[in-house]
Amino acid sequence: MQVPESKLAVFAAGANLRNLRERLGLTMREVESASLRIAERHVNDEFSVSPSRLSDIETKGSVPSIFRLYSLAVIYRCDVREVLCWYGIDLGLSAADLNLNLPPRSHITETEQGAFAVKIPTRLDPAFDPRRSSNLSRMVEQWGTVPLAHLSNFISEKYTYGYIGSEDFTMYPLLPPGTFLQVDESRSQVVPGTWRSEYERPIYFVETREGYTCSWCSLKGDHIVLQPHPLSPVIVRVLRHPQEAEVVGQVVGIALKLGEWLPVESLPDSKSESKERAALN
């Protein structure tokens, strides 16, 4: 009979705890004495770990209670979150698991406050230019460990991540320069339709010969129309598809800072500047 992986993980966790105890030169009786002092301090006998219970945890796949797990982590001088990981509970995944339950009422979430080390990009390609829109997944040279749990969603085969360059005003002001994009690569086909508002119309992350951009898109024969926001100074572009423009995927999430909108006068080739030039001529 095949043993489930979850059960194997429990046995492995018990072995890890035993290795820690032996590395520190602690006997089971000494662990019991230490746990009794912890229980006395917290006025809770649940923190105590008897030798028989410890033996079951180390060799028989017995799962310690949250109180005993805390005591063992303290006695063995290790992070309780690491011990939880041995038992298959990774607190770094709690932010991602929030999507599995959507409460009907708006609320403040404090999950990230209890988050710890996760993998995020720590070194980008030296060719990364913040002025140009980019596919961040291709610019990452090295992943590192930092305490930012929500970025753990970056490690995904389904999504890629983009950045709107400081000189890309294609979807301004809906998506201003500096916006980070979450792109669903499985939605790389342009969907036709009639949209009730600009918020419903799909926005696509597109790779062209000049680089990346994001825009509304429509197909006309073997050409793709890159439609900017109507308030943007960028003109409509019609390119051959997919030779000159390829859809990476649909933008399904964004991250941007509010209150840092650029004034119209600072936009490149804005309508107001065009009027001023016309007046001077």
Can you give the residue ranges of every domain in the chain?
Answer: 5-89, 129-139+148-280
**pLDDT in the model for residue 227:** 96
Identify the CATH number of the domain defined by range 5-89. Answer: 1.10.260.40
> CA 218, CA 237: separation in Å to the nearest integer?
11
> CA 218, CA 55: separation in Å to the nearest integer?
66
Q: pLDDT for 99-147, tens place per residue?
A: 677 677 645 555 555 555 555 555 556 676 777 877 766 665 555 554 4
- Token readout for 251 is 């933008």
In this structure, of 17-21, 124-128, 232-236, the range with the lowest mean pLDDT score is 124-128
**pLDDT in the model for residue 277:** 43
**pLDDT in the model for residue 272:** 46
**pLDDT in the model for residue 161:** 83
Mean pLDDT of the chain: 81
- Smallest CA-to-CA distance from 257 within 167, 187, 181, 179 is with 179
Helix axes 66-75, 28-42, angle to 10 degrees: 120
Identify the CATH number of the domain defined by range 129-139+148-280. Answer: 2.10.109.10
Contact in structure between 229 and 173 (CB atoms under 8 Å): yes
By the 10 Å C-beta count (0-12 exposed, 13-18 middle, 19+ buried), 105 is classed as exposed
Across residues 2-6, what is the average pLDDT?
A: 69
Phi and psi based region of residue 224 (left: phi greater than 0; alpha: psi -120 to 50; beta: remaining): beta
> CA 29, CA 93: separation in Å to the nearest integer?
36
pLDDT greater than 60 at residue 233? yes
**pLDDT in the model for residue 167:** 87
Across residues 156-171, what is the average pLDDT?
A: 83
Across residues 160-178, what is the average pLDDT?
A: 89
Q: pLDDT for 176-231, tens place per residue?
A: 988 888 899 999 999 998 888 998 999 999 999 998 999 999 999 999 999 999 99
Placement of tokens 């749990």 in the chain: 149
In this structure, of 51-65, 152-166, 230-244, the range with the lowest mean pLDDT score is 152-166
- Token readout for 115 is 């988050």
- Token readout for 93 is 């995944």
- Smallest CA-to-CA distance from 49 within 59, 41, 38 is with 38
Length, in residues, of the chain = 281
